[in-house]
Amino acid sequence: MAFVSEPEKRKWKFPSPVRWLAWWLIDEDELQRQVCDYESFRFWQTPRGWSVIALAFSAVATVLMAIVGLMPKYLFLDAVLFAVLALFIYRGQRWAMVGAMLLWTFEKGYALLNADAFDPAPFTQIIWWTVYMHAFYMAFKVEQERNSFGISCPVKPLVPTKD
């Protein structure tokens, strides 16, 4: 009979689609990998990158839909806020990640409450909310851990060794 260590028992592995929907559940191994290998990732491979790309996509989509007339013109303000938050998230500002979570929650909540104005499917709004929230929250956790040194990273040798 194999024994599992206490920390190993507490880790809950969940499939990738569930991970994105349950945005508040962070895989500790993935968090450690993101923190420890932070400098080696390409921008789009990081939660910070995912957040910036998501906000840029939303800003462009909002502007295009407002120009075409599918959304009210006052939503240009949303696009500006998305762009400003994306810029600060790109620079690693944790307050911008929290701001993105708040703005995205407000926007999706408003869209759900005023479904006649935008005619969204509520299920779709909730899916978009959870996907974006996962990216924002994971980016926040990575930056928080990097700033607090809460995760100990294994020391990598400077010269590759032959094993």
CA atoms within 13 A on the CB side of 90: 12
pLDDT score of 60 more than 80: yes
Confidence (pLDDT) at 153: 65
In a domain, 138, yes or no: yes
Assign 6 a pLDDT band (cuts: 50, 70, 90): very low
Confidence (pLDDT) at 21: 61
pTM: 0.72
User: CA-CA distance, 26 to 20, in Å (whole number)?
Assistant: 9
How many structural domains are present in the chain? 1
User: CA-CA distance, 109 to 114, in Å (whole number)?
Assistant: 9
Per-residue pLDDT averaged across 18-36, rounded? 69
Domain that holds residue 112: 47-144
How confident is the model over 94-145, as pLDDT tens digits? 999 999 999 999 988 887 887 665 555 777 788 888 889 988 998 898 888 8
Neighbouring residues of 31: CB distance < 8 A, sequence distance ≥ 6:
138, 141, 142, 145, 151
In a domain, 13, yes or no: no
In a domain, 64, yes or no: yes
In a domain, 162, yes or no: no
In a domain, 111, yes or no: yes
In a domain, 134, yes or no: yes
Higher local confidence (pLDDT), 62 or 39? 62
In a domain, 20, yes or no: no
pLDDT score of 15 more than 60: no
What distance lies between CA 17 and its chain's CA centroid? 14
Look at 14-18, 35-39, 41-45 and tell me which has the smallest mean pLDDT. 14-18
Confidence (pLDDT) at 101: 94
In a domain, 107, yes or no: yes
